[in-house]
Amino acid sequence: MIATKLEILVDFGPKPDMCCVEKTINKLKSVDGVKQACFKEGAIVVETTLPSSQVLDLVTSASGKRAVLQGFGDTQSAVAMISSGSCCHGGLVGVIRFQQSPQGLIADGTIDGLPCGSHGLHVHASGDLSDGCKRIGEHYNPNNCCHGSPTDPPSSRHAGDLGNIVADNTGRATFKICDEVLKVWDIIGRSIAVTERPDDLGRGDNPQSKIDGNSGRPIGCGIIARSAGVFENPKRICACDGVVVWDEKGRPLAGKGRREGLKPCCQNHKDKVEKENLNKASPKI
């Protein structure tokens, strides 16, 4: 499996306890699949073949602190936020990150809320989520080929055919895929979807096999958008509402629940921003 670089922010505070930092680094280095780990520019940088969610869990466990993924990959990157509807009210949620490498496109993801078992994973032609996953179009297929397996040659598969992911008995699928056909710059603005059934990889007897692997309807999808690579995102606090970057984990991007339970300092920041905006909007006499 190809290694990727991760930039992980850990809530060490303004003056990191270097004993805690060293303990976290040593724990990472002891794990199979972690090639390098170091503390640089206030973040832990890890080169690993493991899915990013597993590395985040390792960092959280070793440090005892909150941790979030700040940068993914050292080349052009993208990300898709997966949900089961046009907003985030469904039970299926996840994140898939993409990075272009010399060996191919890496798709690194975790999706929760899936039925236990295998599910097809495909890049679709459209990024229209105005009606949930109903308008994302067919599989991305620039060469007008039949549906197939990601191991098939480009002439015998859709470019968007990524095979299957497997959810465990908790409903979580964690995966890291390398695909030699897709390119990250070709899929930005399109969508990626997970289906209700396994993909038969074009080998089945059903007429749908050569169309979509007889994998059924999409049950979760997301638009693929550009994202930051390692040390390409300097953000530590959201200027609009004062939510620090590690507080954003598990929160909606806006609206109800965004600021629930935040520290008073964040509320003071929000009040200050709102007051400044009000002053700017007030007519001068």
**Percent of the chain whose pLDDT exceeds 70:** 79
Decide if 4-72 and 77-226 have a common fold: no
> Residue 189 is encoded by which pair of tokens?
């603005």
More confident: 257 or 243: 257
Question: Using one digit for the tens of pLDDT, what is the confidence trace for 193-227?
Answer: 999 999 999 999 999 999 999 999 999 999 999 98
Q: Is 101 helix (H, G, I), strand (E, B) or coil?
A: strand
Q: How confident is the model at residue 74 (pLDDT cuts 50, 70, 90)?
A: confident
Q: What's the mean per-residue pLDDT of the chain?
A: 84
Question: Using one digit for the tens of pLDDT, what is the confidence trace for 164-181?
Answer: 999 999 999 999 999 999
Q: What is the Cα–Cα distance from 244 to 246, expressed in whole angstroms?
A: 6
CATH among 2.60.40.10, 2.60.40.200, 3.90.79.10, 3.40.50.300 for 77-226: 2.60.40.200
Q: How many CB atoms lie within 10 A of CB 248?
A: 15
Q: Is 114 helix (H, G, I), strand (E, B) or coil?
A: coil
Looking at the predicted structure, is the pLDDT value of residue 240 above 80? no
Q: How confident is the model at residue 81 (pLDDT cuts 50, 70, 90)?
A: very high
CATH 3.30.70.100 describes domain 4-72? yes
Q: What is the Cα–Cα distance from 228 to 233, expressed in whole angstroms?
A: 6
Domain segments of the chain as ranges:
4-72, 77-226, 245-281
Q: Is 121 helix (H, G, I), strand (E, B) or coil?
A: strand
Looking at the predicted structure, is the pLDDT value of residue 283 above 60? no
* pTM reported for the whole predicted model: 0.79
Looking at the predicted structure, is the pLDDT value of residue 127 above 90? yes
Q: How confident is the model at residue 254 (pLDDT cuts 50, 70, 90)?
A: very low
Q: Give the position of tokens 């056909």.
A: 181
Q: What is the Cα–Cα distance from 46 to 63, expressed in whole angstroms?
A: 15
